[in-house]
Amino acid sequence: MTTTTAPTTTAPALARRRVLAGRPWTLYLALLLTAWFAVSALWPHLLAPDDPLALHLDSALAPPGVHHLLGTDEAGRDLYSRIVHGTAPALAIGVGASLVSLALALVLGGLAALAVRPVAAAVDRVVEVLFSFPSLLLALLLVALLGQSALTEAVAVGVGTAPGYARMVRGQILATRGSPYVEAAVTLGHSRRRILRRHVLPNAVRPLVAVFALSVGQSIVWASSLSFLGLGVAPPSSEWGALLDAGRLYLTHAWWLTIVPGLVIIVLALTATTLGTHLQASLERNDR
Amino acid sequence: MTRTEAAPAATTPTLLDPTPAAGDVPRFRVDGLGVGFTRGGTHRQVVEDLSFDLFPGRCVAIVGESGSGKSVTARTLVGLTGAGSTVTARTLQFQGRDVRRFGAREWRRTRGAKIGFVLQDALVSLDPLRPVGAEIDEALRLHGWGSRRSRARKVVELLDSVGVPSPALRAAQRSGELSGGLRQRALIASALALDPDVVIADEPTTALDVTVQAQVLDLLARTKERGVSILLISHDLSVVARLADEILVMRGGRVVERGTAQQVLTDPQHDYTKALIAAVPGEHTRGTRLVPPPAGNEAAPVPAPRAHPAAPDAVLEARGLVKRFPVAGGLRRTAVDDVSLTLHRGRTLGIVGESGSGKSTTARLVLALTAPDAGDVTLLGEAWSTVPEPRRRTRRRSIAVVQQDPLSSFDPRWDVERILLDSLPAGHGDRAARGRRVRDLLAQVGLGEEVLPRSPLRLSGGQRQRVAIARALGAEPTVLVLDEAVSALDVSVQAQVLDLLADLQERLGLSYLFISHDLGVIHHVSDEVLVMKDGRVVERGSADDVFLRPREAYTQELVGSLPRLADATHRPTTDRTPGATR
Amino acid sequence: MTLTSSAENPPGAAAPHPALDAGLEIAPPSRRAGWIARRVAGRVAGAVVVLWGAATVAFLAQVALPGDRATIIFNTRAGQPIERTAQELAAVNAQYGLQHPVLVQYLDYLRGLLHGDLGRSYQQYRPVAGILGEQVGSTVVLTLSAIALAWVVMVVWVTLTAGRGPRASAFGTAVDTVTAALPHYWLGILLLLVLAQRLRWFPVISDGGPAGLVLPALTLAVPLAGFMGQATRTEFERALEQPFVVSARTRGSSDLGVRLRHVLRHSALPAVTLSGWALGATISGAVVVESVFTRRGIGSVLVTAVNSQDLPIVTGVVVLVAALYVVANLVVDLVHHLLDPRLEAS
């Protein structure tokens, strides 16, 4: 145990955080893409005026080219239009799953950290058990139980990813609760509830902002995995999922049916992650 | 195995010989060294126009506070200045060769073999995951020394030569398993492994207890006697007094004073050096200001030696406190063992001890942050430690604390204004009244309103500590617990804060429980002193009694190990009874 | 008074215990062993609790299936919903023990688990354990190879690119983030099309040999490497700034030497902790990957089972994976302790 280190008056280095937040151009790109996705979801006809379900059987399975920007599927439907029009349901499932996931995580993690000792220990064990199931398997279990529907998909993905976040919430709350500034508040004579409200919860939840953004992207990826396995939802509830599901059959001669939607999903996930990281960094910058 | 400190050779010079033997060639020749850093377009000059010569068997010390550039200098001399740095010099030679021409390979050959480097705090300066023997072995292996078996033997030899008992056993232990003194010795052993000509020691004793510090300095002194040149970097003038032949005082990257150790310490020329020496608290500074008031402000009164009322009442009493903790390996460690203390109104009770002595745990018990396993604490005449928390909460305002690291005790999202507003009692009045009170608190600790909107991250160490004190005052406490509150501050800043605390005690009638490992600070501030070791109170009494006339062996050893500025004029021979060095 | 004596070296006395003379209280070996044994027992007990919890969840899932289970079983086999006679239902009830009270079924289920009996499939007429047993080997091989490959890729990548200035750092982090976000099916198809179909370096349909293992393992390994790389990189760069790295440099070590001999061990710790979780995640990824590359394994079995609501198989896989996860975590704890033997009080 050391008694003292060399005296210093400099503030700790925060440069690393800024590096991780990325260059500003990533933020601008992410905002641009978010705008694109938002417009696709709300007014798809602005970006893809053609009817996505219109059949052009004579140009079925056409590769990306001049007439059809991203190619066509097995029934000649334009892939680009299908993707644009499918943004809304995909986002709905992703955001829905994230909300389910985070709500569960906050409740479970909060209980595991703050409740009375026996309750907290029990909840902690439950979370650990759930955490031992991989997210996808947990989701599959729920789909097997509840059948295939949009709601099930959202709930399944949400429940599948919740245990990991619950552990994070619990860890954050415990770390915050044991920190020196909480102790300082105790010496000032503040009540437990006041400390919880003014110190513990805000500081614990703060880092989770980025996590929420991340989870939206992650949820969409998981949901698409379910669709790829054929366990997702039938269209029109989930266009992207249907594309992936159908695309499996035509892997070798119509690769764009799977690769392109997958690419869109990846871009959406990365956009969400970038937004979250920047949001987190700017929240922390405001502390300075 | 006992290690006897060999008494120096029969003839011990009592006066220093400042000039090196004629014909000696300096090992390091530095002339006009400048180091700057360029980061993101801005350039910062960290060291300017530094010059010195390092001769065989001599020690040059560079003394300065944080930001003085001393550590950067040390690293530059081994080519490890860091990214984005520019090094300029008229001369920068090691053993006659220009080190600026050294390539990576040349440096790798030189470091470790010809120049040894000792950092502070071996707990983090040795890889905590590897046994210390492996660290020493690395020094040997990197320079192709011997075979695996002969290296293993050499490692044990080296540990033995630096005074580590049971060296074969220790070599297999990691730095965390050794005490502070042993691991610092192991670190020094790794630096001395290949018998380098020069040893650069950057704050080698800063993280150590006083007694251990003395031993490490002795070790370095013996190394110097063997003819090794030492470059010693420190913020502590009294530490370098024992070893240094020549002292350079740095401030803001420039050398403000230089000379032989005797000259600089007994007859400093520059104001900064004088202030630095004056700012060191100790026996002679009791009852005085450490920092002279700014010129033109002679009206500021010097606090008179505290006049004590005949029988002040006891504001804080602890009886028979015991606290145990579970420890890795299945044991329970008794951190506090039957500790009793009494703090009287308006006085300062100092608790001094080395690391692991239990002083911080005692502070936590007194603050009722943990419950004692036995014993009780009484605050202002009423039971304190035995009362359940909800009832105790309303009385918490009577006792406040200032910690060593104020930054971690502030909510990271809050600015100064919010921190101070939070400390005011509920129902203090309307918003205007609260705002006035906050400004009032700032004025009491000597800060201006401009710090209100700032985050503590953007304040200096001294300013942060003042905010912490202001926050403690916001509750209008009777007792203030200061747990190593000035230990992390530069000497000059520490002096200011100590003066501030003295003022506040005068004005507000506060009672202080002052905890520190620094004997000088405790001697300066305390009326009464408790000496703690391994959880027990070893000695108690008035400050002068304990420090000038210690009765217990441990206290005598503690006081005797304290490095003093006067050591520069008298190199210690064998006798170190306290008082003999005056 | 000479400074011959100190708190650490009592003059003349033989040290009572080699460690105690340092003033540190390290327990004698026997007591320490007892403490370690207790901690290990605690871990194992925790693992058993998790397994029991997993089994309970699996059982509850089967009970929770809405509707009369016997009818569902019949209809699953027949593929169509028809009304069944009481006699037929009774037969199925007897076969699956559905007529007993739930608690009894639960205990039977637990008892069966201890014997390795995971129940009987609704659709096929065989025990689940048998069905899975045939397929699980291939999946386990794929999973382990993927994790090993991920480790190798991550270690090389992070060691070479971490701590080399803000640009390299940002680039490395960006690559980590992007690769971690790649869905398995997408990457798998990409690799399949480019490396197998176009370039013909690897077989399109995996035949069980090592060549057929490469692409599926790579598909699983790359996102995992990205994910673990993020945590490792942060730790790596933090460790690079620690004083012991400076010490090593001052002894004459090269930059690469410091990275390999000192920093790597420190930075591997979070990745080791993640590896326990990684096993479960990789197995679930394997489900997808086996589908893409048409590989044998529990993946296809699982998908079919979910489709037809053949719950015993789904829950059987879940319990099996939970068991593997628990074992993996014990191994991970052991490895973590080997890398970082510093003990902490519980």
Q: What span, in angstroms and rounded, lies between the C-alpha atoms of C177 and A20?
A: 11
The encoded tokens of residue C142 equal 């794929």
Q: What span, in angstroms and rounded, lies between the C-alpha atoms of B367 and B357?
A: 18
Q: What span, in angstroms and rounded, lies between the C-alpha atoms of B34 and B67?
A: 15
- Helix, strand or coil, per DSSP, at residue B528: strand
Residues in C closer than 8 angstroms to A21, CB to CB, are: none
Gap from C87 CA to chain A (nearest CA, Å) = 26
pLDDT in tens, A230-287: 777 666 556 787 788 777 777 777 788 888 888 999 999 899 888 888 887 777 766 5
Q: Is residue B271 part of a domain?
A: no
The encoded tokens of residue C140 equal 């386990």
| pLDDT computed for residue B300 by the predictor | 43
Band (C272; pLDDT cuts 50, 70, 90): confident
pLDDT in tens, B241-300: 888 999 999 999 999 999 998 899 889 999 999 988 888 888 778 877 888 766 544 444
Nearest to C287 among A129, A136, A252 (CB): A136
Higher pLDDT, A258 or C257: C257
Distances (CA, A) of B285 to A162, B60, B280, B302, B325: 62, 28, 8, 12, 38
Residue A163 has pLDDT above 90, yes or no: no
| pLDDT computed for residue B326 by the predictor | 83
Give the residue from A226, A251, A218, A262 showing the smallest Cα distance to C292: A251
pLDDT in tens, C60-69: 877 777 667 7
Put simply, whether A181 touches B (Cβ < 8 Å) is: yes
Q: Is residue B457 part of a domain?
A: no
| pLDDT computed for residue A235 by the predictor | 60
Percent of chain C having pLDDT more than 70?
A: 86
Put simply, whether A10 touches B (Cβ < 8 Å) is: yes
| pLDDT computed for residue B2 by the predictor | 38
Q: Is residue B523 part of a domain?
A: yes
Predicted-complex ipTM score: 0.81
Gap from A270 CA to chain C (nearest CA, Å) = 7
What domain count does chain B have? Answer: 1
Residue indicated by tokens 């790829």? A228
The encoded tokens of residue B217 equal 């300095």
| pLDDT computed for residue B41 by the predictor | 81
Quote the CATH superfamily of domain A27-43+68-287.
MetI-like (1.10.3720.10)
Residue B197 has pLDDT above 90, yes or no: yes
Nearest to B165 among C3, C21, C248 (CB): C21
Give the residue from C266, C292, B257 showing the smallest Cα distance to A248: C292
| pLDDT computed for residue B202 by the predictor | 93
Interface probe, candidates C2, C3, C32, C255, chain B, greatest B C-beta count within 10 A: C3
| pLDDT computed for residue C21 by the predictor | 33
CB proximity under 8 Å: A 234-273 to C: 244, 248, 251-252, 255, 258-259, 262-263, 265-266, 269-270, 273
Residue B181 has pLDDT above 90, yes or no: no
Nearest to A7 among B207, B413, B490 (CB): B490
Q: Are A185 and A199 spatial neighbours (Cβ–Cβ below 8 Å)?
A: yes
Residues in A closer than 8 angstroms to C284, CB to CB, are: 134-137
| pLDDT computed for residue C325 by the predictor | 84
Residue B355: CATH number of its domain: 3.40.50.300
Give the residue from B488, B499, B115, B84 showing the smallest Cα distance to B300: B499
Of A10-19, A166-175, B257-266, least confident by mean pLDDT is: A10-19
- Residues of B124-150 as b/e, b for ≥16 C-beta within 10 angstroms? bbbbbbbbbbbbbbbbbbbbeeeeeee
Q: Is residue B161 part of a domain?
A: no
Residue B20 has pLDDT above 70, yes or no: no
| ∠ CA B300-B303-B306, rounded to 5° | 165
Q: Please compute the mean of the pLDDT values over residues A162-169 and round it to a whole number.
A: 86
Interface probe, candidates A4, A179, A288, chain B, greatest B C-beta count within 10 A: A4
Of A62-71, B260-269, B349-358, C132-141, least confident by mean pLDDT is: A62-71
The encoded tokens of residue B273 equal 């050096």
Q: Please compute the mean of the pLDDT values over residues A35-64 and round it to a whole number.
A: 80
Count of beta carbons in the 10 Å neighbourhood of residue A192: 13
Higher pLDDT, B206 or B526: B526
Gap from B210 CA to chain A (nearest CA, Å) = 10
Mean predicted lDDT score pLDDT of chain A: 79
Interface probe, candidates B129, B334, B558, chain C, greatest C C-beta count within 10 A: B129
Q: Could you tell me how many CB contacts below 8 A there are between chain A and chain C? A: 144
For B111, residues 6+ apart whose C-beta sits below 8 A from its C-beta are: B78, B79, B117, C249, C250, C251, C252
Given an 8 Å threshold on Cβ–Cβ distance, is B125 in contact with C24? no
For A235, residues 6+ apart whose C-beta sits below 8 A from its C-beta are: A241, A242
Q: Is residue B432 part of a domain?
A: no
- Helix, strand or coil, per DSSP, at residue C196: helix
> Longest Cα pair distance anywhere in chain A, in angstroms?
82
Give the DSSP H or E segment for B3.
none
Gap from C260 CA to chain B (nearest CA, Å) = 13
pLDDT in tens, B55-104: 999 999 999 988 888 999 999 999 998 888 999 999 999 998 999 889 99
pLDDT in tens, B369-390: 999 999 999 999 889 988 998 8
Distances (CA, A) of A63 to A58, A228, C198: 13, 21, 16
Q: Is residue B322 part of a domain?
A: yes
Q: What span, in angstroms and rounded, lies between the C-alpha atoms of A273 and A27?
A: 10
Mean predicted lDDT score pLDDT of chain B: 86
Q: What span, in angstroms and rounded, lies between the C-alpha atoms of C178 and A40?
A: 23
Q: What is the 3-state secondary structure (H, E, C) of B246-282?
A: EEEEEECCEEEEEEEHHHHHHCCCCHHHHHHHHCCCC
Residue C136 has pLDDT above 60, yes or no: yes
Q: Please compute the mean of the pLDDT values over residues B353-373 and round it to a whole number.
A: 91
Q: Please compute the mean of the pLDDT values over residues B226-243 and round it to a whole number.
A: 90
Residues in C closer than 8 angstroms to B577, CB to CB, are: 1
Higher pLDDT, B333 or B582: B333
Residues in C closer than 8 angstroms to B169, CB to CB, are: 18-19
Mean predicted lDDT score pLDDT of chain C: 79
The encoded tokens of residue C299 equal 């993946």
Percent of chain A having pLDDT more than 70?
A: 89
CA B98 to chain centroid:
35
Q: What span, in angstroms and rounded, lies between the C-alpha atoms of B208 and A2?
A: 7
Q: What span, in angstroms and rounded, lies between the C-alpha atoms of A161 and A101?
A: 6
- Residues of A38-77 as b/e, b for ≥16 C-beta within 10 angstroms? eebbeebeeebebebeeebeeeeebeeeeebebbbbeebb
Residue A91 has pLDDT above 80, yes or no: yes
Q: B31 φ, ψ to 5°?
A: -140, 120
Gap from B393 CA to chain A (nearest CA, Å) = 5
Distances (CA, A) of B48 to B38, B102, C220: 15, 22, 55
Residues in C closer than 8 angstroms to B166, CB to CB, are: 15, 18, 21
Chains that touch C (3 or more CB pairs under 8 A): A, B
Gap from A123 CA to chain B (nearest CA, Å) = 26
| pLDDT computed for residue B574 by the predictor | 32
Gap from A43 CA to chain C (nearest CA, Å) = 27
Q: Are C299 and C344 spatial neighbours (Cβ–Cβ below 8 Å)?
A: no
For B156, residues 6+ apart whose C-beta sits below 8 A from its C-beta are: B133, B167, B168, B171
Q: Are C300 and C338 spatial neighbours (Cβ–Cβ below 8 Å)?
A: no
Give the residue from A19, A22, B84 showing the smallest Cα distance to C166: A19
Q: Please compute the mean of the pLDDT values over residues B489-508 and round it to a whole number.
A: 91
Q: Please compute the mean of the pLDDT values over residues A138-167 and round it to a whole number.
A: 83
Q: Are B25 and B197 spatial neighbours (Cβ–Cβ below 8 Å)?
A: no
Residues in A closer than 8 angstroms to B418, CB to CB, are: none
Q: Please compute the mean of the pLDDT values over residues C97-115 and round it to a whole number.
A: 80
Please, what sign has the CA dihedral across residues A216, A219, A221, A224? negative
Of A6-10, B422-426, B468-472, C221-225, least confident by mean pLDDT is: A6-10
Q: Please compute the mean of the pLDDT values over residues A195-211 and round it to a whole number.
A: 84
Burial (CB < 10 A; 0-12, 13-18, 19+), residue B503, is: middle
Residues in A closer than 8 angstroms to C53, CB to CB, are: 125-126, 128-129, 132
Q: What is the DSSP string of B547-579?
A: HHS--SHHHHHHHHH---GGGGTS---S---TT
Q: What is the 3-state secondary structure (H, E, C) of B170-207?
A: HHCCEHHHCCHHHHHHHHHHHHHCCCCCEEEEECCCCC
Residues in A closer than 8 angstroms to B369, CB to CB, are: 183, 186-187
Q: Please compute the mean of the pLDDT values over residues B152-156 and round it to a whole number.
A: 94
Q: What span, in angstroms and rounded, lies between the C-alpha atoms of A201 and B473?
A: 27
Q: What span, in angstroms and rounded, lies between the C-alpha atoms of B107 and B97?
A: 12
**Chain C nearest-CA residue for B169:** C18
Q: Are A78 and A257 spatial neighbours (Cβ–Cβ below 8 Å)?
A: no
Q: What is the DSSP string of B376-412?
A: EEEETTEE-SSS-HHHHHTTGGGEEEE-S-TGGGS-T
Given an 8 Å threshold on Cβ–Cβ distance, is A133 in contact with C182? no
Given an 8 Å threshold on Cβ–Cβ distance, is A12 in contact with B457? yes
| pLDDT computed for residue C210 by the predictor | 79
Q: What span, in angstroms and rounded, lies between the C-alpha atoms of A157 and B89?
A: 64
Nearest to C1 among B128, B218, B576 (CB): B576
Residue B351 has pLDDT above 90, yes or no: yes
> How many residues appear in chain B?
582
| pLDDT computed for residue C106 by the predictor | 84
Put simply, whether A217 touches C (Cβ < 8 Å) is: yes
Gap from A105 CA to chain B (nearest CA, Å) = 24
Given an 8 Å threshold on Cβ–Cβ distance, is C251 in contact with B111? yes
Residue B390's domain comprises 314-412+477-564
| pLDDT computed for residue B576 by the predictor | 33
Q: What span, in angstroms and rounded, lies between the C-alpha atoms of A285 and A17?
A: 10
Gap from A253 CA to chain C (nearest CA, Å) = 10
Residue C271 has pLDDT above 50, yes or no: yes
Q: What span, in angstroms and rounded, lies between the C-alpha atoms of B41 and B43?
A: 7
E-strand ranges in B40-173 read 42-54, 59-64, 85-88, 91-94, 97-98, 115-118
- Strand B479-483 relative to strand B399-402, pairing: parallel
Residue indicated by tokens 């602890």? B318
Percent of chain A having pLDDT more than 90?
A: 9
- Strand B536-542 relative to strand B528-533, pairing: antiparallel
Q: What span, in angstroms and rounded, lies between the C-alpha atoms of B350 and B345?
A: 14
**Gyration radius from chain A CA atoms:** 23
Q: Please compute the mean of the pLDDT values over residues C292-303 and round it to a whole number.
A: 84
Given an 8 Å threshold on Cβ–Cβ distance, is C262 in contact with B127? yes
Q: B85 φ, ψ to 5°?
A: -105, 150
Given an 8 Å threshold on Cβ–Cβ distance, is C54 in contact with A132? yes
Q: Is residue B83 part of a domain?
A: no
Given an 8 Å threshold on Cβ–Cβ distance, is B461 in contact with A7? yes
What are the helix (H) ranges across A115-178?
117-131, 135-146, 150-177
Gap from B416 CA to chain A (nearest CA, Å) = 11
Q: What span, in angstroms and rounded, lies between the C-alpha atoms of C224 and B246?
A: 58
Give the residue from C136, C131, C146 showing the smallest Cα distance to C281: C146
Q: Is residue B251 part of a domain?
A: no
Residue C302 has pLDDT above 90, yes or no: no
| ∠ CA A239-A244-A246, rounded to 5° | 90
For A181, residues 6+ apart whose C-beta sits below 8 A from its C-beta are: A199, B408, B409, B410, B411, B412
Q: Order of strands across the sheet with B536-542?
A: B399-402, B479-483, B511-516, B348-353, B528-533, B536-542
**Chain C nearest-CA residue for A128:** C50
Band (B306; pLDDT cuts 50, 70, 90): low
